[in-house]
Chains A and B, each alone.
Chain A
Amino acid sequence: MIAQQIINAVSLGGVYALLALGLAIVFSIVGLINFAHGELMTLSGYALLASLVLGFPFPVAVLVAVSCGALAAVAMERIAFRPMRGASVTSLLLTSFAVSSLLKVVFQNGISARPQAVAMPGWMTGAFSFGDFTIGVGPSISIVVSALALIALEVFLRRSVTGTAMRAAAEDFDVVRLMGIPASRIIATAFLLSGLLAGLAAILWVAQRASVDPLMGFTPVLKAFIAAVVGGLGSLPGAVAGGFLLGIIEVLLQATLPGAIAPYRDAIVLSGVIAVLLVRPQGLIPAVRAQRS
């Protein structure tokens, strides 16, 4: 039981980590909490559904869905955020809210207000058993995919020039530009990565939920935001840590809280978050930022 709950926690935490990372990457570069991140997920979910309905093989559908998330993120930056460059944090935030609500309405009116079933392949509902112990294929995939994505991102950020430039830009964007590295390349890459992460998270999310609906992105973006804040806003390792912490707390509470207190679960989680922030106001792993003269 305990081992099982640990797997549950890691699996959920992994998805939260991917989501929080997506938010954190963009925030670290442009100082924007992109609340439309959830709608990138929704869009990827619909792309997955459409690809499956069109009869694409599952791996192709996944590829299409993830690419859609990534491209949509880049397009979102071009259309909505680039004209706002240099605007205040509040205006950026409001813009992202506006984009998010607009997309929700587009999904509702253009597709349907009702959730659409996404029939995941049968093998996803299977389970491996080791004697007494069974672990579902779904959670296993979640864990493996999250781990691979985190590793791939780490390698990209460490090894590639653009990745290194992104880490540098999180600290001091102007100086990165002084090195001759174009700002738009950094920003576009940040959105591209966040879209990729949203797309991957969407696949894992939909695989666990078997449906996609216009409001699907709301809960995940909220969780991602909480995770990113707990971890330290703008800090990538922080986002990962925050995501896992949130997953662990949620599963722990779900598993152990008696029924009578269960309705207060979310309140308890948020109280925990506030407690963490009281002890560590900058989050678990604060972001490094240049102090300017």
Chain B
Amino acid sequence: MLSVEALKIRYGEVEAVRRVDLTVGSGEIIALVGANGAGKSSTLGAVAGLVPAASGKVVFDGVDITGLAPEAIARKGVALVPEGRRIFASLTVADNLRLGGAVHQPAAEARLREEEMLELFPILRRYHRVKGGNLSGGEQQMLAIARALMGKPRMILLDEPSLGLAPQLIDTVFDLIAELRRKGLTILLVEQNVALALEIADRAVVLANGEVVLAGTAKELASSDLVRQAYLGA
């Protein structure tokens, strides 16, 4: 469904991503792992159109989307839940959700979709009229995911959804990810928590210094020495 080919990203002189190749099949969960600064967020940014690619290609559903504006890529059905959530703090939960689904469907459909999201995230129903900035970190993460789902994307890019959450909440988030996948969503997941990521993912890609150093099924990687030493602390 998604393929990233020989992606290179530069911030001025700094080469943040040297070469990344990866593919995500329809209905798969692919985990993208690596140390801080490895280039994971940059890669997701390039897929979503926020970060320009210096060279290489991003193909979604057989269409080259490299260099398209983020809004155009979003309309093709790719949703990014950015690192640090970036919910709209001064907008109510309701308005955050409304924006998420505004351009992808007629208003009546968007209302039904919102209802579905409130079913899926009951906490958001409780805080429906509360400003996003007043929610706790976990609630904000739920809101960020729900907002991305409002547009009925076919693929979702999750950037560190477990960041800063209590262990119990992390479980909730991962249960949710599993649930989404059951519903047929394609997921590209960036995670620091490699153990959890490998548990849920079909395949995984390991980045270091902007390059793919290892790729394979989650099982293979979980048993690889390199991953065990560097990321699983074993």
Do A and B come into direct contact in the complex, CB within 8 Å?
Answer: yes
Residues of B within 8 A of A167 (CB): 88, 90-91, 95
In the complex, the chain B residue whose C-beta lies closest to that of A175 is B86
Place the interface of chain A in its size category. 20 to 34
**Which residues A279-293 have CB closer than 8 A to chain B?**
288, 290, 292-293
A161 within 8 Å of B (CB atoms): yes
Interface centre among B48, B75, B102, by most A CB within 10 Å? Answer: B102
A164 to B103, CA, bound (A): 13
B214 within 8 Å of A (CB atoms): no
Whether the Cβ atoms of B70 and A178 lie closer than 8 Å is yes
Whether the Cβ atoms of B95 and A178 lie closer than 8 Å is no
Can you list, as one digit per residue, whether each of A213-236 has a CB less than 8 Å from chain B (1) or not (0)? 000000000000000000000000
Residues of B within 8 A of A168 (CB): 88, 91, 95-96, 99
Whether the Cβ atoms of A164 and B95 lie closer than 8 Å is yes
**Which residues A138-164 have CB closer than 8 A to chain B?**
161, 164
**Which residues B151-204 have CB closer than 8 A to chain A?**
151
Given A174-B50, A293-B83, A293-B84 in contact, is the A181-B90 Cβ separation under 8 Å? no
In the complex, the chain B residue whose C-beta lies closest to that of A165 is B99
| Cβ-defined partner of A180 (8 Å) among B50, B75, B86, B96 | B75
A176 within 8 Å of B (CB atoms): yes
B79 within 8 Å of A (CB atoms): yes
Whether the Cβ atoms of B99 and A161 lie closer than 8 Å is yes
Given A174-B70, A175-B82 in contact, is the A180-B89 Cβ separation under 8 Å? no
Residues of B within 8 A of A121 (CB): none
Residues of B within 8 A of A177 (CB): 49-50, 69-71, 74
Residues of B within 8 A of A251 (CB): none
Can you list, as one digit per residue, whether each of A170-201 has a CB less than 8 Å from chain B (1) or not (0)? 01101111111111000000000000000000
Given A168-B88, A168-B91, A288-B90 in contact, is the A176-B69 Cβ separation under 8 Å? no
A167 to B74, CA, bound (A): 20
Given A164-B99, A178-B50 in contact, is the A171-B90 Cβ separation under 8 Å? yes
Distance (whole angstroms) from the CB of B181 to the closest CB of chain A:
21
Distance (whole angstroms) from the CB of A87 to the closest CB of chain B:
16
Whether the Cβ atoms of B89 and A161 lie closer than 8 Å is no
B98 within 8 Å of A (CB atoms): yes
Residues of B within 8 A of A183 (CB): 69, 71
Residues of B within 8 A of A292 (CB): 84
Residues of A within 8 A of B69 (CB): 177, 182-183
Whether the Cβ atoms of B89 and A179 lie closer than 8 Å is no
A103 to B64, CA, bound (A): 43
Whether the Cβ atoms of A171 and B71 lie closer than 8 Å is no
Distance (whole angstroms) from the CB of B48 to the closest CB of chain A:
6
Distance (whole angstroms) from the CB of A162 to the closest CB of chain B:
9
Distance (whole angstroms) from the CB of A180 to the closest CB of chain B:
4
Whether the Cβ atoms of B70 and A164 lie closer than 8 Å is no
A182 to B73, CA, bound (A): 11
**Which residues A71-91 have CB closer than 8 A to chain B?**
none
Whether the Cβ atoms of B90 and A164 lie closer than 8 Å is no
Whether the Cβ atoms of A288 and B89 lie closer than 8 Å is yes
B147 within 8 Å of A (CB atoms): yes
Given A164-B99, A183-B69 in contact, is the A178-B90 Cβ separation under 8 Å? no
B138 within 8 Å of A (CB atoms): no
Whether the Cβ atoms of A179 and B91 lie closer than 8 Å is no
Distance (whole angstroms) from the CB of A66 to the closest CB of chain B:
28
B80 within 8 Å of A (CB atoms): yes
Whether the Cβ atoms of B86 and A181 lie closer than 8 Å is no
In the complex, the chain A residue whose C-beta lies closest to that of B163 is A293
In the complex, the chain A residue whose C-beta lies closest to that of B133 is A288
A-B pairs with lowest CB-CB distance, top 7: A180-B74, A177-B70, A288-B90, A180-B103, A168-B88, A161-B102, A293-B84
A-B contact pairs, 29 of them (CB 8 A): A164-B91, A164-B95, A164-B99, A165-B102, A167-B90, A167-B91, A167-B95, A168-B88, A168-B96, A172-B88, A174-B70, A174-B86, A175-B86, A177-B49, A177-B50, A177-B69, A177-B70, A177-B74, A178-B70, A178-B79, A178-B80, A179-B100, A179-B103, A180-B71, A180-B103, A181-B99, A182-B71, A288-B133, A293-B84
Enumerate chain A interface residues (CB-CB to B < 8 A). 161, 164-165, 167-168, 171-172, 174-183, 288, 290, 292-293
- With A161-B99, A172-B88 already in contact, 16 other A-B pairs whose C-beta atoms are closer than 8 Å: A161-B102, A164-B91, A164-B95, A165-B99, A168-B95, A171-B88, A171-B90, A174-B70, A175-B88, A178-B79, A179-B74, A179-B151, A180-B103, A290-B89, A293-B83, A293-B84
